[in-house]
Structures are given as C-alpha cells and as structure tokens.
Amino acid sequence: MPVAFLNFMEVTMNGLMAGVLYALVALGFVLIYKASGIFNYAQGVMALFSALTLVGIMEGQVPFSHLINALLGTEIHHFGWHINAFFGILFTMVVMVGLAYCVQRFVFRHLVGQEPIILFMATIGLAYFMEGLGDLMWGSDIKTLAVGLPQGGSFAIEDLTATWAAEGERYYGMYIDQLDIVATVVAAILVIALVLFAQYTKQGRAMRAVADDHQAALSVGISLNFIWVLVWSLAGFVAIVAGVMWGAKSGVQFSLSLIALKALPVLMLGGFTSIPGAIVGGLIIGVGEKLFEYQFGPMLGGATENWFAYVLALLFLVFRPQGLFGEKIIERV
Amino acid sequence: MFYREAGDYKTSYSADNQTFPIRFDRYRYYVVLFVSFLVIPFIINDYWASAIFLPFLIYAIAAIGLNILVGYCGQVSLGTGGFMAVGAYACYKLMTAFPEVNIFFHVLLAGGVTAIVCVLFGLPSLRIKGFYLAVATLAAQFFLVWLFNRVPWFYNYSASGQINAPERTVFGIEVTGPNTEAWAVYLFCLVFLVGSAIIARNLTRGMTGRKWMAIRDMDIAAEIIGVNPLTAKLSAFAVSGFFIGISGALFFSVYLGAVEVGEAFGINKSFLVLFMIIIGGLGSIFGSFAGAAFLVLLPVFLKNVLVGSLGWPTDTAAHFEFLIVGALIIVFLIAEPHGLAQLWRVAKEKLRLWPFPH
C-alpha cells in the first residue's frame, strides 16, 4: 500500500476514536434533553467536576482546604490516605447522584414550565457555579489522573502496520494511542449498557415514557421528579467516564470543561434527541475534522479543528434543520 | 402619586408619540442625562473610569445590540464575542489605513462592517431555529476568532499577533492611546451609548420593532399576517451587529488599547453579554443597562469585599466569585425570569397606585 494511503488511514482511525470521545460527551446532553427538554450546557463542567472529585478522593485531599485555611488560618491539605481507583470512582458516583438530586431539587424543580432559553441560561449558571465549586473544593492546579489506564502509543499496531507499506518505502507504522483504544471500548460498553437500560428495565421504560410525553407519563403514575433525578445521575455517570478518559489524556484542568463545546456540533449534526445520532455525529465530526486538518490545515494556517466541526454542522443543518436523526420539526400555528 | 398620566395633557400628535409619555419618566430621563453629561465628567478619576464606567458604557452598547436580536427578535446568538472582535479589528484596520479620518467615523464604520458580517452569519437563521441556531452562531464565534488569529493581514503582520490602538484625537482631545484623560474617554463612549439607546428605543417602538416581536412570538404566524421573515430576521441581525460592532471597536480602541483576540473576545464574552440581557430583562432597553451595570459592578464589589475586607487570597476569591455569579444567575432566573426590567415595571405599577393601592 502507498504511504499516503496509510497516512490517510491512520488519520481516519484517530479521527474515529476522537469521535467516540466526542460522542461520549454528546450522549450526556441527549439523555437530559430527551427526558426534560433542558439543553444542559453544564455537561462539560460536570465532566471536569467529576474528574476533580475523583482525583481529590483518590489523593485524600481535604475539600475546601484553601477556603478553610483562609478563614481559620489553619494549614490542612490532605487526610493522608490514598484510595484505589475502583472505590474512588464509586464514591464519585455517589457524589454525582447527590449533585443530580440537588440540581433537580434546588434548581430545575423551581423552573418547571419556563421557556427553554431560561432553562438553558440556568444550566450556564450551573456551569459557572460548578466550576467555582470544583476549584474551591479541590484547588485549581493541574492534576494528573492515575487510574491505571495505559498511556502512549500501541507498539503492536505500529509493528503490524509497518509491514503494510510497499517495499523500499520509509514507513514506521501507525501511531494509535492505547488510551484511545480503551476509551473506544469503554464508550461502546457504556452505550450498549445505556440502550439495554432504556429498553429493558422498568426505570428505563419510565424514562422513555417521560421523553415521549410528560403529561401522559404523569397520568400513568410515573414520578417526573424521580425520572429527572435519574437522567441527571445518568448524565453524571457519562460525565465521569468522559472526565476520566479526557482527564487521563490531558490532565485534569479547566480546559476539560471545554469539551462541551466540542460536543455541541456533534449534537447539531446528529439531532438533539437521538442517541444513535450522537454516536454517528461524533464519528463524522471526529473523522471530518482530523481529515480536514490533515488535508487543508497547513494551507490555512492550522488549528482548523477549532471551527471546522461547527461550520460542517452549520452547512449540514441548512439542508436538514433537525439534524441526521432528530425528530422532524413540525410547526403549527 | 409620582408616576401617573393624570393631569399630563397631550395637545399634539408628537407629544402623544414621545418616547417617555409620562412626565415623571421624562424628568427622570433628563436628570439622568444631566448627571451623566455634566456632573460625572467633572468628578470622574482614572480608577472609576477604567473599573466601572467604561466597561459599563461599552457592555451596555453590546447588551442593547444583543437584546435586539435575542430579546426582540427571538434569535438566540452565542456569537457576540466574535462579532465584537469584528468591530475591534475593523476599527483597527480603518485606524491604521486612514489615520487622517476622525476616529468617530471609524467606530461607526466598524459597526457597519460588523453588521454585514452579522447578516452573513444570520442567513442560516432562515432555516434553523431555537437551540440549533444558538449552537450555529457558535460557528461564528470560533471561526472569527480563529480568522483574526491566523490571518496576519488583520493584525498588520505585527510580531506579537496583538493589535494596538494608535493615538487618535477628537476635537484635539486624545481618546485612544496611553495618554488619555478619564473624562474624555468617558464622554466619547457615553455619546455612542446614548446614540445607540435612542436609536434602539425608537426602532423597537416602531414598525421594525413590531415586526421583530411578531417573529419572536411566533414566526409562522407572523409570516401569515404579512411580516417578511427574511427582512425582519436579517434586519435584526444587522442592527444588532451594528451596535455590537461599535461596542467591540470601543472596547478595543478606547478601553483596552491592546487586544489579543482569543483572550478579549472569547466565548466567555458571548456568555457575559447574554447573561447581562437575561439578568437585565429580555426585550427591554432599560434591562440592557441594568444587566450591564449589575454584571460590571458585581465582580468589583465581590473583589472589594472578599479580598479587600476579608483578606482572602486572590485565587480563592476568584473561584468564589464564579460560584456567586453562577448561583446569582440561577436565583435570578428562579425568582424573576424576566429580569431586573420586570422588577422595575412592577415598582412603577406600585408607584402609580401608591398611597391608595385599592
């Protein structure tokens, strides 16, 4: 095979795996949007918050230590214990469920029936709040997340692909990040688990009923409050997975919350209400932006990834305003 | 007792159609104008100008612009930062290309350029609605910031990639550059703000504004009763872009003086201005002022209390500020989704009935 084609394949592979990570964040959006009509901008910050909490719990940091020290003049920072990754994730899940309950109880319960734009603004407020809370609780320095995920490129794939090039070509094999492979597998498992949950469990059915019609769901005895706490918790779990994957990739820091901005074009492309849409959209965006950067990036001055996804989604929407798999928008007067 | 129409007889059509039909309102308006033009310039100093008045004036212009688009025409936009950057860079290019022209016209032209760009990015609004549109306007935000970062022509090939405002004067008094007087820059921005507010107020009272509001309330119904959605939506984008461009130009040339595009006009700026109009009140010119004042004063106030009085470390205080701003936004939305303007409206109704409420 010619080297150019192999490079093209490598870029595509990397794009697909980046796309899976985008899809992971987009999933959290879709879950909440379907069930409650809230466009949750805070999803990215939730990923950051969960990653911060995970690191904090694992390292045995004292929450709010900076604040306590500033107020009381003490010098405490750590409890002095370390917890392994499994229990750390378990505790983080508990925290995220608590957070989901609080969000529902103290914010959105009071905003039922408001216009979507007001709900959207409330989630931006929530994003600011959680950003401040996360930094205040755990400090704002960059942390490394050591949950035992493999790092660096995969030698097996590199060795295997190095032999594919035509004889006499200088080709050293494809660079595929091991972490990306793990992330892809985990994301696939998560999606399957979510689909099974939604299709076959009682709560999952109730969730779908709420997504279809609030009033009808209420009338057959489904508690809207419970379902909303449930979807916020599920979005919290998705956020933990996204936070762990992205956190292990690039360190737990503020920029982690910006992955929400990466997920928005994915949502536009796939449709706000469709789980398969989020996945397919994620893959298209991931491959598209990597290939575009590979082909045209050097010509245009690089860093086209910042906007390519948006422009692609924008152009796409002009022809199909509800996205790939979104429900058809029917307007009546 | 204070605020009522009784006894205020209108004897001509123009008196009946005036902006503030109630006498008390009118006097209040004159007092505000008097204080802002003839009192504040004499007592202002550098700290007050740079910490409070300039940001307030400039953000108020941007908030009026965004309020026309979001509050009056119902097209949610998250591209404000990008459009402000267009204004800033247009102003910079004009200032350096035509140094002999007065900066006043540069700022206006920068507004015009931004209006054109804004209409361009507003075109998809004819097909895309609601949140899809909100996310689509993010395309403008990211694309424009990237463009100004990567194409050296925009920053005149300077090595740092920054743009710096050269010194320019109005009537022989410097308004940009390092040697400006606080009162001069204050008045310069104030003139633009008052102009924008008067234009916006009259546009929204007239046929154009009613068309916008019809589109906002239900675009299909508006189309059926004869409002052309193309012209209504695009004119809202154009007018909004014009004001946002002016504010971006002032933000760069008068307030900051030197700008790095990603830092000054990032996505946070878009959210900040959106917060202003939500907290102030969607679909209200007064709300744009109130929201801008609130969000400019709040960080200054928090900083003074937390760092100044309580002696917290700056970074902890900064995190706490995020927390407070976020919480306040949520509390505001729960308590009064229609913003400060609605509180003002309620207060006016109360005043009208005041000593005899029944």
Dump pLDDT digits (tens) for B28-60. 888 988 888 888 888 888 888 888 888 999 999
Q: Any bridge partners for residue B164, and if so which?
A: B258
Q: What is the pTM of this model?
A: 0.86
Give residue B239's pLDDT: 94
CB contact under 8 A, B334 and A107: yes
Dump pLDDT digits (tens) for A264-316. 888 888 877 777 888 888 888 888 888 888 877 777 766 777 778 888 888 88
Strand, helix or coil at B342?
helix
Element (H, E) at A274: none
Give residue A161's pLDDT: 66
Residue A232 near residue A100 (C-beta atoms within 8 A):
yes
Q: Residue A272 and residue B134: Cα distance in Å, rounded?
A: 13
Q: Residue A278 and residue A284: Cα distance in Å, rounded?
A: 10
pLDDT above 70 for A1:
no
The token duo for A302 is: 């690089």
Q: Residue A150 and residue B282: Cα distance in Å, rounded?
A: 50
CB contact under 8 A, A129 and B76: no
3-state helix, strand, coil in chain A (%, to 5): 75, 0, 25
The token duo for B261 is: 């595009």
Bridge-based pairing state of the strands B163-164 and B173-174: unpaired
Q: Residue A104 and residue B209: Cα distance in Å, rounded?
A: 37
Give residue B309's pLDDT: 72
Closest CA to A294 of A14, A1, A2: A14
The token duo for A323 is: 């996205």
The mean predicted confidence, pLDDT, of chain A is 79
Q: Is the dihedral of CA A44, A50, A55, A61 positive or negative?
A: positive
Q: Which residue of A has its CA nearest to B262?
A: A306
Helices and strands, number each (H, E), in chain B: 17, 4
Q: From the candidates B70, B132, B269, B315, which should be mutated to test the interface with A, based on the most A CB atoms within 10 A?
A: B132
Q: Residue B295 and residue A125: Cα distance in Å, rounded?
A: 13
CB contact under 8 A, A318 and B124: yes
Give residue B156's pLDDT: 78
Q: Residue A149 and residue A169: Cα distance in Å, rounded?
A: 34
CB atoms within 10 A of CB B223: 16
The answer to whether B336 contacts chain A (CB < 8 Å) is no
Q: Residue A180 and residue A187: Cα distance in Å, rounded?
A: 10
Could you write out the DSSP letters of every residue in B45-100? -HHHIIIIIHHHHHHHHHHHHHIIIIIIT------HHHHHHHHHHHHHHHHHH-TT
Give residue B57's pLDDT: 92
Q: Residue A136 and residue A67: Cα distance in Å, rounded?
A: 7
Give residue B59's pLDDT: 93
Residue B41: Cβ-neighbour burial (10 angstroms; 0-12, 13-18, 19+): middle
Could you write out the DSSP letters of every residue in B241-293? HHHHHHHHHHIIIIIISEE-HHHHSSHHHHHHHHHHHHHH-TT-HHHHHHHHH
Q: Residue A156 and residue A177: Cα distance in Å, rounded?
A: 11
Q: Residue B102 and residue B105: Cα distance in Å, rounded?
A: 6
Q: Which of residues 248-267 of B touch A (CB under 8 A)?
A: 267
Q: How far is B156 from chain A (nearest CA, A)?
A: 16
CATH for A3-319? 1.10.3470
The answer to whether B157 contacts chain A (CB < 8 Å) is no
Q: How far is B143 from chain A (nearest CA, A)?
A: 5
- Give the rounded percent of residues in chain A with a pLDDT score beyond 90: 0
Q: Is the dihedral of CA A137, A141, A142, A147 positive or negative?
A: negative
Half-sphere exposure of A10 (CA within 13 A, CB side): 24
Q: Give CA separation, B260 vs A130, B81, B95, B200, B264, in Å.
A: 28, 13, 17, 30, 6
The amino acid present at A290, given as its one-letter code, is K
Q: How far is A168 from chain B (nearest CA, A)?
A: 38
The answer to whether B276 contacts chain A (CB < 8 Å) is no
Q: How far is B325 from chain A (nearest CA, A)?
A: 7
Give residue B114's pLDDT: 93
Q: Residue A267 and residue A262: Cα distance in Å, rounded?
A: 9
The model's confidence at residue A7, banded by pLDDT at 50, 70 and 90, is confident
Q: Residue A320 and residue A246: Cα distance in Å, rounded?
A: 31
Work out the average pLDDT over A199-224.
Answer: 85
pLDDT above 70 for A151:
no
ipTM of the complex: 0.80
Give residue A149's pLDDT: 67
Residue B148: its chain A contacts at CB < 8 A?
none
Q: Residue A244 and residue A182: Cα distance in Å, rounded?
A: 11
The amino acid present at B313, given as its one-letter code, is P
pLDDT above 70 for A169:
no
Give residue A261's pLDDT: 79
3-state SS, B5-55, equals: CCCCCCCCHHHHCCCCCCHHHHHHHHHHHHHHHHHHHHHCCHHHHHHHHHH
Residue A90: Cβ-neighbour burial (10 angstroms; 0-12, 13-18, 19+): exposed
Per-residue pLDDT of chain B (358 residues; tens, 9 = 90+): 567 777 778 888 888 888 787 777 788 888 988 888 888 888 888 888 888 888 999 999 999 999 999 889 888 888 899 999 999 999 988 888 888 888 889 899 999 999 999 998 888 888 777 777 887 888 888 888 888 888 888 887 877 778 887 878 788 777 777 777 888 888 888 999 999 999 999 999 889 999 999 998 888 888 899 889 889 999 999 999 999 999 999 998 888 888 888 788 888 888 889 888 888 888 888 889 999 998 888 888 888 887 777 767 777 777 788 888 888 888 888 888 788 888 888 888 887 777 777 6
Element (H, E) at B170: strand B169-170
Q: Give CA separation, A210 vs A33, A46, A229, A269, A277, in Å.
A: 11, 23, 12, 24, 20
Higher pLDDT, A265 or A171: A265
Q: From the candidates B69, B330, B331, B332, which should be mutated to test the interface with A, based on the most A CB atoms within 10 A?
A: B330
The answer to whether B333 contacts chain A (CB < 8 Å) is yes
Closest CA to A130 of A165, A164, A96, A156: A96
3-state helix, strand, coil in chain B (%, to 5): 75, 0, 25
Residue B108 near residue A272 (C-beta atoms within 8 A):
no
Q: Residue A95 and residue B109: Cα distance in Å, rounded?
A: 53
Q: Any bridge partners for residue A61, and if so which?
A: A78
Dump pLDDT digits (tens) for A316-328. 877 877 777 767 7
